[in-house]
Amino acid sequence: MERRFRIRLEELLNDAEVRPSVLQGVLPRLESFLQPFVGALQSPEQRINAQHYVQGLLSDLDGKDVESIAYLHDRERQGLQKFMGQAEWDHRPLVTELARQIAAELSEDDGVLVFDPSAFVKKGTESVGVQRQWCGRLGKVENCQIGIYLGYVSRREHALVDFRMFLPQVWAKRKRRRAKAGVPKEVRFQTRHELMLDMLDEHGSILPHAWIAGDDELGRCSWFRQQLRERDERYLLAVPSNTLVRDLKAPEPPSTKSGRACKAPFQRVARWCAAVPEKAWQSIEVRAGEKGPLVVQAAWTLVQARTEGKVSDVMEILVVFREKQSDGTWKHDYLLSNAWVTTSLQEFARVFKAEHRIEECLQRAKGEAGLADYQVRSWEGWHHHQTLALLATWFLTQEARPEKKTHSCIDGAASAEDDRPVVEWDVEVRSPGADSPHDESPFEEKRRSAALPLAVSQTLAASTV
C-alpha cells in the first residue's frame, strides 16, 4: 500500500472510533434530520416509507435491499417496493434541499467541485442503463450501470451533492427497452461530460467554489475543458500519461533554411516529466499523522495540449506531482489547469487532494449507507434509491462531524469564525532554488479562467523562464 494511502487509512480508522454516548438519541435525530426532505413528499404514507428506507440503509443489515429493510421494520415488502420502484414521487426537491444544506454547512469561497463516475456491477440485461462498459472498481469491462456524481469539498468536510444516471446510447435509441424500464420520454442520450455540466449549471451558483476537479476522464476531453473555460470556471483535471503537450517554456528549435520559425514538438507528458531536472522539482510537505510528514514533489510548465486529436488554442498549465514508493520508484500524477500562472503549488496541491475526497464519499456511501445495495430495475427506482442513500450518507457526515478529533478534509486552516475542531492537510512548499512565479495566489480571482490565446501566451511563457 502506498504511504499516502496508508497514512490516510490510519486517519480514517482513528475517525471511526465512536463513543457509546454518540449513539444515544440517534433515531430521534434521524427523524428530525429527515423532516426538511420528506416534507416534499405527497402523503404521510410516502413520508413513513422514506423514513423506514433511510433507517434501513443506516442499519447493520448485511444486504440493504427493499425486502431486507421491510422485514427489519416487520412489515410487508410490497408497500415499500411500490414506493421505491413504481410510485411517482419526484426526487429532485430532496436533492435540491440536500445541496442547500451542504452549501449552508460546508461552503467556503475556495471550495472545490469534484466530478466522478462510479460503476455498479449488475447481472442480466433488464436493469435500466446496464451494459458491458468500463468498471473502474474492477479495472475491466463488466456488465454494470454507471452513475455520475458531484461532490463538494472544503476544509470543513466533503459530501456528495447530486448524481445522474449515464444512459448508454444503445438504451436511448430503443423505445421498447426504455418503456419497460420506465425511462421518461424526455430523457435523451447525453455523454458523461454533458451530465456533469448539467449538474454544474444547476448547483454551481449555490455552492461557493473556486475550482473544478476530476480524474483523467474529464481532463482528456478537450471539449469539456473548453466548456469550463466558457463558464469562467477554473479547473485542475487529471490527464493520462500519454497526453501530448507542447512546452511553451522550452527553447525554440532553430529556424528552417527558409527562415521560418519552428515550434517545440508535441511530446507525451510522461516524456516531458522524465526530462525535468532534479533541481526543478519542488518538495511539498504534507503534515499528516504521527509518523512524520508525507512529502511529494511537484513541477510545472506552460503548455499547449493536444487531446483527442485536437490542438488547444489556449495556454494551460501542466502540473506534475510525484511521490516515492516503497520500492524506490516514483508514482506520477499529471494534471492540466487554466489557472493563473501566479497560482501557488500549495494551492494546486490542495485541489489535487480534494479530487480524491469524492472517492472517500463514495466509499462511505457504498460501505455505510447502502448506495450499491439495491435490486430495483426501473429508472424511478434507481433514482429513488440513489437519493435516499445520499441523504443517509449526509446524515452520517453530520453525525460524525462534532465528534471528529481530526477533520478528513483538504489542505489549509479553518476560518477564525469556525468553532468546529479542524485539523487538516497542512501543505508547505520547500523551494530548491530561485523564487517561483507561483509565490502568491490572487484569491480575488477565484473562479475566473486564465486561458490566453497562444499568441499572447508565448510572450508570457518567455517572461516566466
CB atoms near residue 35 (< 10 Å):
10
pLDDT of amino acid 406? 37
In 316-442, the DSSP E strands lie at: 316-324, 330-337, 426-430
Let me know the angle formed at the C-alpha of 173 by 168 and 179, rounded to the nearest 5 degrees: 95
Q: What is the pTM of this model?
A: 0.83
Residue 459's contacts (CB-CB under 8 Å, 6 or more residues apart) are: none
Instruction: Of 334, 298, 333, 337, give the one whose Cα is nearest residue 314.
Output: 337
pLDDT of amino acid 261? 65
pLDDT of amino acid 453? 60
Q: Which phi-psi region, left, alpha or beta, contains residue 148 (left: φ > 0; alpha: ψ -120 to 50)? A: beta
CB atoms near residue 199 (< 10 Å):
20
Distance between CA atoms of residues 360 and 409, nearest Å: 10
CB 155 within 8 A of CB 110: no
CB 114 within 8 A of CB 357: yes
Cα-flanking dihedrals φ and ψ of residue 149, to 5°? -120, 145
pLDDT of amino acid 286? 66
Cα-flanking dihedrals φ and ψ of residue 43, to 5°? -135, 160
For residue 55 the three cell numbers come to 433507517
For residue 78 the three cell numbers come to 410490497
Q: Which helix (H) or strand (E) holds 86?
A: none
Q: Which helix (H) or strand (E) holds 80?
A: helix 77-85
Cβ neighbourhood burial of 16 (10 Å; 0-12, 13-18, 19+): exposed
Torsion angle (degrees, nearest 10) of CA 390, 396, 398, 400:
-150
Distance between CA atoms of residues 72 and 63, nearest Å: 11
pLDDT of amino acid 332? 95
Q: Which helix (H) or strand (E) holds 225?
A: helix 222-230
Instruction: Of 297, 308, 301, give the one whose Cα is nearest residue 223.
Output: 308
Distance between CA atoms of residues 397 and 204, nearest Å: 22
Instruction: Of 449, 44, 434, give the one whose Cα is nearest residue 232.
Output: 449
How far is CA 30 from each of CA 95, 102, 109, 389, 393, rounded to the nearest angstrom? 17, 17, 29, 13, 12
Q: Which helix (H) or strand (E) holds 304?
A: strand 294-307
pLDDT of amino acid 294? 74
Query: What pairing do the DSSP bridges indicate for beta strands 211-214 and 112-121?
Result: parallel
Tens-digit pLDDT string for the chain (465 aa): 566 666 666 666 665 555 544 456 788 999 999 999 999 998 999 999 999 999 999 999 988 989 999 999 999 899 999 999 988 899 999 999 999 999 999 999 999 999 999 999 998 888 999 999 988 777 889 999 999 999 999 999 999 999 999 999 999 999 999 999 999 999 999 999 999 999 999 999 999 999 999 999 999 999 999 999 999 999 999 999 999 999 999 887 776 666 666 788 999 999 999 999 999 999 987 656 456 677 889 999 999 999 888 899 999 999 999 988 888 899 999 999 999 999 999 999 999 989 989 999 999 999 999 999 988 899 999 999 999 999 999 999 999 875 444 333 344 333 333 333 332 334 444 444 334 433 333 333 455 555 556 555 444 444 444
pLDDT of amino acid 362? 95
End-to-end alpha-carbon separation of the chain, Å? 38
For the chain, how many residues are written?
A: 465
Which 3 state secondary structure label does DSSP give 224? helix
For residue 321 the three cell numbers come to 506531482
For residue 366 the three cell numbers come to 457504498
Which 3 state secondary structure label does DSSP give 344? coil
